[in-house]
Chain A
Amino acid sequence: MLRRLREPSTGPFSSRRSMLLLTVVAFFLFAMPIVMLAVGAIRDATPGRPAQWSFDAFRRAYGDAGTYSVLGDSVLLALGVMVISTVTGLLLAFIVARTDTPLRRLVTPSMMLVIALPPLFYGISWAMLGNPRIGTINSFWQDLTGSETPLWDTYSWSGIVVVTSLKSTAFAYFLLLGPLMAMNRSLEEASRVFGAGRLRTFLRIDVPLLGPSLLGVCILSFVAGLEFFDVPLLLGTPAGIDVFATEIFSQIRDRTPADYGAAGALSLLLAVVVVALVVLQWRILGSRDFTTVTGKNDRTDRWSIGRWRWAGTLLIVGYVTLAVALPLAQLVAGSFQPYLGGGVYSTINYQLLFSEPATTAALRTTAIVAFVGGLCAILMTLLISYAITHSRSRLRRALEVMTWLPFAMPGIILALGIAWLFVSIPGLRSLYGSLGIVVIGLMISAVPLATRAVQPALRQVGRELEESARVSGARPVRMFFSIVVPLIAPSLLAGWFLVAILVSGNLTIPMLLSTTDSATVPLVVYNLHSQGETSQAAALFVILLGALLALFVVGSLTVWLISRSNRRRRDRTRPEAPSADQVTMTRPIPAASEAGRSTSGADVAAEPSAAVPGGLPTVVKSSGFRREP
């Protein structure tokens, strides 16, 4: 009957032993790839072969003057992306949060779409739009004006910067929307009362108040600019433009034999820079953890900005056109043309695709990988997040840091590290080239997003709901599955769908980890495009987007149905407010219910390829104020 235990724990997975186990697993999955990369960089042979320690790879990588010019170019690119996306994101967020600009309701849904659309989508569609010879924009322009020069060649620095910015603007937008909405209106009014004009008020009051968020967003977009891989690969490589991420990749693809050592050596530099910046950004944004909470959106709370409204509308229309309408239209239209920029519209591409067994195989692979990888990511995150919030062990800090690692790692480095890891460890080598390694890779890459879906949900389950189950005689594991899991089921499900959607658009991981047998749709799309079959690539992408759309509809419907009943319950489960005559000695009940209510709205993960559009369904918060350990 007696158990020898030092500390009580409300739930399972948080005892010292399970913490140790989880930490080991997390270390293996999240930290080992980077360790292996470092190890690989100081070995003088390809992974899995016997080798000597040597710094040769560093000499090869960093002795080359080309490396520094690529590095410099990458920094410039990242700076460009940072400026454009922060400014555009700030303006759009301000318009939506604070003004009465027409069409402002269009922005948030468009931004969610931008976040959900994979970077590869932007690469392909803008390659089709801005190809200097046959790109739609340019041929239209040349037909119209008779000009010989293209209007805008997107196979260029400007192309890469602008297209990358289109995508990363969405992250800046969501990160700034929350602070802007929460901003205290009376501060602005006070400034106006004392005679400052609108513009002065914006510059003097809003911008300084936003300072920390703004700085955080700048760093984050800079990092995104450094990490972007898909867009530079599609738009830069044909024009001979290399950025750091594609340079790493070309060490493997364009060298025979592939120079894994040099790729690893280059990766380490990028990894160090990115991790340093991300840590800096965490410091600045503090504990907000990228989840912004939107305040009430009161219509009377808006500025009438007069004629400026139309400038705002123009910005909205411009952004939505470039980031959503034009690329989508191009992709769909292009998929019905036999070759890019011409021919009679027909379904020939689709027919060709479906007659090819590889296509259906890729679709099947993608479905499996997305669902299994997504499920693994969600379950893994559930265990880890639960353990972190419930354990009092010192290991929980280590565990927490480890789950952040894939967030900070550029995809290409993560992929490379995972490849190294699996090739180097004898027992795991057989996995290399299998579907399993792709699933694991995508799972690791999805953990940051999954964390953002699972953690807020977990935080909303009042500790007393768990404790009362324990006192009622439930063992920890039993309590977890009969109380915690059912309560957050809608969020888990929503998280699973979201992760599946984002995972299925990932190109970087399959690029390094898939073989022909385990190719996913993005990889096939990329291969088709680089073989010149751009129309077929577009058609395949349209199929993928269609499937994702269907998934999204089905998923939202399911989640909505489940969470509707839960929400109804939640609204009624709040205890009444304490009555007035009770005030004498009552300890004030902290704003637990407040917090519970405001978590919907834009829950956004600022991971460059991940976000949680739409308020995830929130769950029950028992109104108690049990403290965290």
Chain B
Amino acid sequence: MKSIAITALTKTYTAGAAPAVDRLDLEVEPGEFLTLLGPSGCGKTTTLRCIAGLEAPTHGSVRIGDQPVAAPADGIFVPPERRGVGMVFQSYALWPHMSVFGNVAYPLKMARTPREEIRRAVDDALTRVGLGGLHTKNVSALSGGQQQRVALARAMVGRPDVMLYDEPLSNLDAKLRFAMRDHIRSVHNSLGTTSVYVTHDQEEAVALSDRIIVMRAGRIQQVDTPRDLYTRPRSTFVADFMGFQNILPATVESRDGDHCHVRLDDCPDVVRSAYPAPADGRVSVAFRAQHVRFHQPDAHCMAVNGVVTKATDWGSALRLQIDVGGHVVKAIVDDEQVVSQSLSPRPGDPVTFYVRPEHVIVLENRHDDEAALDQAGEGA
């Protein structure tokens, strides 16, 4: 169990181009499961590879435990084989010319472990990932999920201080991903390693991690526990990335200590947030489509009026698009609400909806976020 300390890490691949990772500072506690989350190309893999020693930082430093492993300013670079890390790759990266046993035993052979001990350790590792008894199989005879479990066994068999994962689940189908998540977390818990996990899937990050770092264009956007990140993003970028379907422009109407009221643009209605406003004047309001209610949950909730423009019944839920002063609000109404309130909205119907103040996030408008939102909006 070792800590990882990254200081002012910068990696520039092509001179003159924007750095892939830009002055990143990061502390990973011993035994912590930390996830780097962000859209593709934001520098997660690069950061992970700098920790593994597969990439050398341009500036800054990386320490594992109390040993500096990369510090270009001091001419320090410890090659990957001496960093005591285990790594699981997105492509599994199993060696097809070796059996399952050969793959898993490889790190131990490199460490000159005695033979009986190798056998025992490989057995143990394969059992932990639920593959006991598959030693002699050819790795290519395994399914994708099994292959990734072999990769996991190989990464942990040498009891590394640090485990690194680069999108290990993205090549698996949905069901296998759930099972594999459990394997990864239970390996982490039982071995007590420090883990750094890279993914672009917020759900995966939330389910696995002790702490999540949201990255964007080589920089950290927000560091938080999964709960806080899920409920209280600090920027429109993070809100969008964490799955807030509704991010609307608004103006702060009043601030009352720990809560505030904001007026939605182009609309007379005001909503209440249970959180303090981050700024005066122009802001954004964010809430999830699932949190839209069609009856008033309590007296604090304020009504917003709009017109239904689209209604799609997905069976398990009803999906609505509501026009509010020219802006689209998305709502997901679950079965229970549909039945209990006998909702059957049709396009053109006027509706009134409510969002609980604790579900309404008020975000500062930052210049660089607008562009990102535009892009995200197009992709959605």
Binding site for B on A (CB under 8 A): 1-8, 10, 462, 464-465, 467-476, 478, 482-483, 486-487, 566, 568-573, 575-576, 578-579, 581-582, 585-587, 620, 622-624
Residues of A within 8 A of B41 (CB): 587
| Interface pair A620/B200, CB less than 8 Å apart | no
A577 to B, closest residue via Cβ: B171
CB within 8 Å of A: which of B303-347? none
If A471-B81, A471-B86, A587-B40 touch, does A622 touch B91 (CB 8 Å cutoff)? yes
Q: B97: CB under 8 A from chain A?
A: yes
CB within 8 Å of A: which of B77-96? 77-83, 85-87, 89-96
Which among B79, B86, B96, B139 is the interface contact of A8 at CB below 8 angstroms? B79
Residues of B within 8 A of A478 (CB): 110
| Interface pair A472/B97, CB less than 8 Å apart | no
| Interface pair B141/A572, CB less than 8 Å apart | yes
Which among B53, B77, B158 is the interface contact of A472 at CB below 8 angstroms? B158
If A464-B93, A624-B90 touch, does A471 touch B54 (CB 8 Å cutoff)? yes
Q: B67: CB under 8 A from chain A?
A: yes
A4 to B, closest residue via Cβ: B75
Complex CA gap A7/B77 in Å reads 8
Q: Sort chain B's interface into a size bin.
A: 35 or more
Q: B365: CB under 8 A from chain A?
A: no
| Interface pair B200/A586, CB less than 8 Å apart | yes
Q: B170: CB under 8 A from chain A?
A: yes
Residues of B within 8 A of A468 (CB): 87, 89, 93-95, 151, 154
Q: Mark B122-161, 1 if CB is under 8 A from A, else 0.
A: 0000000000000000111110100100010011001000
Residues of B within 8 A of A624 (CB): 89-91, 93
| Interface pair A474/B93, CB less than 8 Å apart | no
B39 to A, closest residue via Cβ: A585
| Interface pair A462/B91, CB less than 8 Å apart | yes
A483 to B, closest residue via Cβ: B95
Complex CA gap A578/B144 in Å reads 11
Q: Mark B38-57, 1 if CB is under 8 A from A, else 0.
A: 01110000000000111110
Highest count of chain A CB atoms <10 Å: which of B52, B81, B93, B147: B93
Q: B76: CB under 8 A from chain A?
A: yes
Q: What are 17 A-B contacts with C-beta separation under 8 Å?
A: A2-B76, A4-B75, A4-B76, A7-B56, A8-B77, A468-B87, A469-B106, A471-B80, A472-B81, A487-B97, A572-B140, A573-B139, A575-B92, A575-B147, A576-B144, A582-B174, A587-B41
Complex CA gap A581/B173 in Å reads 8
Residues of B within 8 A of A470 (CB): 53-54, 79-81
Highest count of chain A CB atoms <10 Å: which of B54, B56, B67: B54
If A473-B111, A585-B200 touch, does A5 touch B79 (CB 8 Å cutoff)? yes
Which among A5, A469, A586 is the interface contact of B170 at CB below 8 angstroms? A586
| Interface pair A573/B77, CB less than 8 Å apart | no
Complex CA gap A24/B53 in Å reads 29
B52 to A, closest residue via Cβ: A471
| Interface pair B93/A465, CB less than 8 Å apart | yes
Q: Mark B187-213, 1 if CB is under 8 A from A, else 0.
A: 000000000000011000000000000
Complex CA gap A571/B77 in Å reads 38
Complex CA gap A210/B296 in Å reads 71
Residues of B within 8 A of A566 (CB): 96-97
Given contacts A464-B93, A471-B81, A566-B96, 18 further A-B contacts (CB under 8 A): A4-B77, A10-B54, A464-B89, A464-B90, A465-B95, A467-B89, A468-B151, A470-B80, A472-B154, A474-B106, A483-B95, A566-B97, A575-B91, A575-B144, A578-B171, A579-B173, A582-B201, A585-B201
If A568-B140, A623-B171 touch, does A473 touch B107 (CB 8 Å cutoff)? yes
Residues of B within 8 A of A587 (CB): 40-41, 200
Complex CA gap A6/B147 in Å reads 35
Q: B172: CB under 8 A from chain A?
A: yes
B225 shortest CB reach to chain A, Å: 21
Complex CA gap A26/B215 in Å reads 45
Residues of B within 8 A of A472 (CB): 81, 86, 106-107, 110, 154, 158
| Interface pair B54/A575, CB less than 8 Å apart | no
Residues of A within 8 A of B151 (CB): 468
| Interface pair A474/B110, CB less than 8 Å apart | yes
Q: How many A-B residue pairs have CB under 8 A?
A: 158
Residues of A within 8 A of B154 (CB): 468, 472
Complex CA gap A620/B141 in Å reads 14
Residues of B within 8 A of A623 (CB): 91, 171
| Interface pair B87/A581, CB less than 8 Å apart | no
CB within 8 Å of A: which of B91-109? 91-97, 106-107
B243 to A, closest residue via Cβ: A584
| Interface pair B97/A486, CB less than 8 Å apart | yes
Residues of B within 8 A of A469 (CB): 95, 106
A239 shortest CB reach to chain B, Å: 57
| Interface pair B91/A471, CB less than 8 Å apart | no
B119 shortest CB reach to chain A, Å: 17
B39 shortest CB reach to chain A, Å: 6
| Interface pair B96/A573, CB less than 8 Å apart | yes
Residues of B within 8 A of A569 (CB): 96-97, 138-140
Residues of B within 8 A of A7 (CB): 56, 77
A221 shortest CB reach to chain B, Å: 39
A476 shortest CB reach to chain B, Å: 8
Residues of B within 8 A of A8 (CB): 53-56, 77, 79-80
A508 shortest CB reach to chain B, Å: 39
A478 shortest CB reach to chain B, Å: 7
| Interface pair B81/A474, CB less than 8 Å apart | yes
CB within 8 Å of A: which of B263-309? none
| Interface pair B81/A620, CB less than 8 Å apart | no
Complex CA gap A585/B376 in Å reads 10
Complex CA gap A478/B75 in Å reads 25
| Interface pair A570/B140, CB less than 8 Å apart | yes
Residues of A within 8 A of B106 (CB): 469, 472, 474, 482
B133 shortest CB reach to chain A, Å: 19
| Interface pair A487/B96, CB less than 8 Å apart | yes
Highest count of chain A CB atoms <10 Å: which of B94, B95, B155: B95
Complex CA gap A1/B106 in Å reads 22
| Interface pair A475/B81, CB less than 8 Å apart | yes
Complex CA gap A467/B94 in Å reads 11
Complex CA gap A464/B151 in Å reads 12
B71 to A, closest residue via Cβ: A2
B35 shortest CB reach to chain A, Å: 14
| Interface pair A473/B158, CB less than 8 Å apart | yes
| Interface pair A573/B89, CB less than 8 Å apart | no
